[in-house]
Structure formats: C-alpha cells, structure tokens
C-alpha cells in the first residue's frame, strides 16, 4: 500500500515517548480494579481535556469516551483500551510497582492506556492528516465482569458518528518484542462459569451406609464432566471444562450434607453454549442420582468468542507492515483459551484485536511478576496512530 506516516507525525511520536513511559509507570503504580477506577479515570480525562477531543459523560461511572474530528471527510475508527487492574500482588520489584497490596496491572492495561493516550495526543496534533474521526474508548472492568458488554449494551456503538471499524491492541507475552500479530476468524474463546451444589444426607464417617455421601457423588460428577469434552463434542471443536474450586465438610469423621464445586467452560463456537449447559446438567443428574444425591447447576454466561473480521485484519496487516516493517508482522496467531470482552464490540462492528509482542521469554499475563515492556511502547503508539490515519486509505 502507498500509505505511510509523515515525518511530522513520526517526530511527534518520538517526542511524546518519554511522557508515555512516565504515564505508564504512574498507571502501573496506582492500579484500580473493576468499576473502582476513579483515579485512573481522572488521569485519563485530565490528559485528554482542554484540546480538540470531545469527551462524553461516563456510561458506567469510570469510563472515558472521546471523539477527535479530522479536517477531511472519512470513516470513524474506534480505538479501545482497558483500564482496570487485577486482584493480585505485584512482585515485579520495579520502582513503579503497585502501591496497593492485592492489586496489580498484571495484564498490561497500564501499557495499553499509555499507548492510546499518547496516540490520542499525536492524532490531536495531526488533524490536518486525519480523514474522518477517531473514537477513543477507555473501558473499565474488562477482567471478570465484562465492562465492554455493558458499554455496548448501553449504546456505545450507536453514538454518532458511529464507528465503522474497531481496533484494540493487547500486549502479548511469548511473542517477540514489537512484533504484531493477528489473523481472521476466532482468536479467543468464550468464557462461561458454573456453580454446582451436590446435596446428600450427612452422617458418621464410620457409618457411610446410613448417609448419602455428596463427596463421592461430586467426585464422580467431576470425573464424568470430562466425558462431555471427550465423548459428546466433535473432536475438531476445542472445548475446556475445568473445575477450579471445591468445598464441603469441616470434620474428619463427619460426612457433610452438601458439596459445592465451581469452574469455567471455554469454547470457540458460540453455538455450543446451550449444548454444553444442557449436557452438564444431564451428566450431573445421572451421577448424583446414582449416589442418592440431588444437584443444582448455576450456569453463568460470560464472554462470547472473539472473532476478528477478515477485511479489518487485512487492512491492519498492510498498515503495520507499512509503518513498522515486514519483520514486525506475523500471520502466526494461535488461538487462545483466554477471553476478552472486546468480543462484544466485534460482534457488532468489523474490527480486530491485535497482539503486540512483549518478548518471547517475558513473564506471562496475570503473573505477579508481570510488568509491561517499555521498549515496545513506541511500536504500539505508532501502530495506533497509523490505524487511525491510514484505515480509509488502505
């Protein structure tokens, strides 16, 4: 493609890089979890205020939505960053490590925010080269709750001018530093959760024949649930059923009356949701009744699969190669059983979630030792700016 960034725009990116790094460290040191991101929102809104970017009132209390209008007609590109942190300790040992015990930016959202804020400032200084508009979204509660689903449900994508395409950039451990990857189709899984209660009849541990043991029934049920994957689903359809928590009983010699276990379900084909839920219920009913127990299943629908649009990926690929170089793009984009609520944006608007490599041996996401790699900030800012300036020209 003929598109590339002007020398003026590249100069602005280089100029803002020290400030973007400082912002990233400031955000990393002050992590806030889902729907509590008040200081974070204040920083974001303060950075974006006072210039050409039009800010809307928050939809969910801690989000920030902005619009930058170009000086030429064109399409509207939505760029999104998450803003929330995780509930875990930061043991990275960096001078800018978390000030708050039990809270850490261990999924890179501090880096995502810093890159998008810097890109917004560069674009604000480059409206003479912008054909169309840029919608900036700084979204709360990506982890666990799904702030993206809530914002889409409240009409984010219906705000005029409506987004023609949506992009998000996510730091990715295991991928070479500064390398960008994406591929069309399903990229990340759906994520549902479940809570199962197995109810029996408590009794003396030495007289199990007088009880209906929910521990045995639960153990049989947990094992039997794995046959859902191995015997009930097409082997070519990836599905994960994981029991991650179990509790029941408080004494060595008392059979409890109830056992509770919880877990997660992951899959790429969203049409499998109802089948998996119903099959789980059937398996639980059979195994529990065999042990003279009953059960209840709470199946909690979570994120839907994230599906990248083919045209959006093609355009992003061309833009990335043009501004970063062919060595910094790879079509290798393995599916992930992780989940992302950007899936709700892409369910309504064409777009894609791009991965930005942090390093092949970089600590994994959601690891207490994780810290964003500052050396890739420039590549991320460059790509975000280029997606806004180049989308209509690709």
**Whole-angstrom distance, CA of residue 331 vs CA of residue 308:** 13
Buried b (16+ CB within 10 A) or exposed e, 343-361: bbbbeebbbbbbbbbbbee
E strands, the chain, are 54-55, 64-69, 72-82, 131-139, 165-173, 180-181, 185-188, 190-199, 203-204, 239-247, 254-255, 258-267, 294-303, 306-308, 329-330, 351-359
HSE-CB of 127 using CA atoms within 13 angstroms: 15
Nearest to 391, CA basis, from 58, 33, 10, 129: 129
Non-local CB neighbours of 230 within 8 Å, separated by 6+ positions: none
Q: Is the dihedral angle over the CA atoms 58, 59, 65, 70 positive or is it negative?
A: negative
8-state DSSP, 102: T
Non-local CB neighbours of 142 within 8 Å, separated by 6+ positions: 82, 84, 107, 109, 148, 340, 341, 342
- Active-site residues, by number, are 84, 142
**Whole-angstrom distance, CA of residue 144 vs CA of residue 152:** 16
In contact, 292 and 208? CB cutoff 8 Å: no
Q: For the chain, what is the radius of gyration of the CA atoms?
A: 24
**Whole-angstrom distance, CA of residue 350 vs CA of residue 14:** 30
């Amino acid at each position: 493609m003929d598109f590339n960034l002007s020398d003026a725009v590249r100069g602005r990116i280089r100029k803002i890089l020290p400030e973007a790094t400082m912002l990233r460290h400031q955000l990393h040191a002050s992590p806030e979890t889902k729907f509590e991101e008040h200081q974070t929102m204040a920083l974001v809104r303060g950075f974006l205020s006072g210039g050409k970017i039009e800010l809307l009132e928050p939809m969910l209390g801690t989000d920030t939505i902005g619009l930058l209008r170009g000086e030429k007609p064109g399409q509207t590109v939505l760029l999104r960053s998450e803003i929330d942190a995780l509930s875990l300790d930061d043991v990275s040992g960096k001078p800018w490590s978390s000030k708050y015990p039990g809270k850490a930016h261990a999924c890179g959202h501090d880096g995502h925010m810093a890159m998008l804020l810097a890109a917004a400032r560069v674009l604000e200084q480059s409206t003479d080269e912008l054909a169309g508009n840029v919608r900036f979204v700084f979204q709360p509660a990506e982890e666990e709750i799904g702030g993206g689903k809530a914002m889409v449900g409240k009409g984010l994508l219906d705000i005029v001018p409506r987004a023609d395409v949506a992009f998000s950039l996510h730091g990715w451990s295991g991928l070479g530093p500064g390398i960008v990857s994406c591929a069309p189709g399903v990229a990340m899984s759906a994520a549902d959760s479940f809570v199962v209660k197995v109810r029996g009849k408590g009794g003396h541990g030495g007289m199990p024949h007088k009880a209906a043991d929910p521990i045995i029934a639960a153990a049989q049920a947990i094992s039997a649930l794995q046959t859902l994957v191995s015997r009930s689903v097409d082997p070519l359809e990836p599905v994960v059923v994981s029991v991650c928590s179990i509790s029941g009983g408080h004494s060595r010699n008392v059979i409890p009356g109830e056992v509770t276990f919880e877990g997660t379900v992951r899959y790429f084909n969203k049409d499998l949701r109802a089948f998996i839920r119903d099959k789980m219920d059937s398996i639980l009913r059979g195994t529990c009744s065999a042990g003279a127990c009953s059960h209840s299943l709470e199946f909690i629908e979570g994120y839907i699969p994230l599906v990248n649009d083919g045209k959006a990926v093609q355009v992003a690929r061309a833009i990335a190669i043009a501004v970063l170089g062919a060595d910094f793009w790879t079509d290798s984009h393995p599916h992930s059983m992780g989940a992302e609520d950007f899936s709700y944006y892409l369910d309504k608007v064409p777009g894609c979630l791009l991965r930005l490599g942090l390093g092949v041996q970089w600590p994994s996401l959601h690891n207490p030792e994780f810290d964003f790699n500052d050396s890739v900030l420039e590549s991320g800012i460059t790509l975000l700016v280029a997606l806004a300036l180049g989308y209509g020209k690709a």
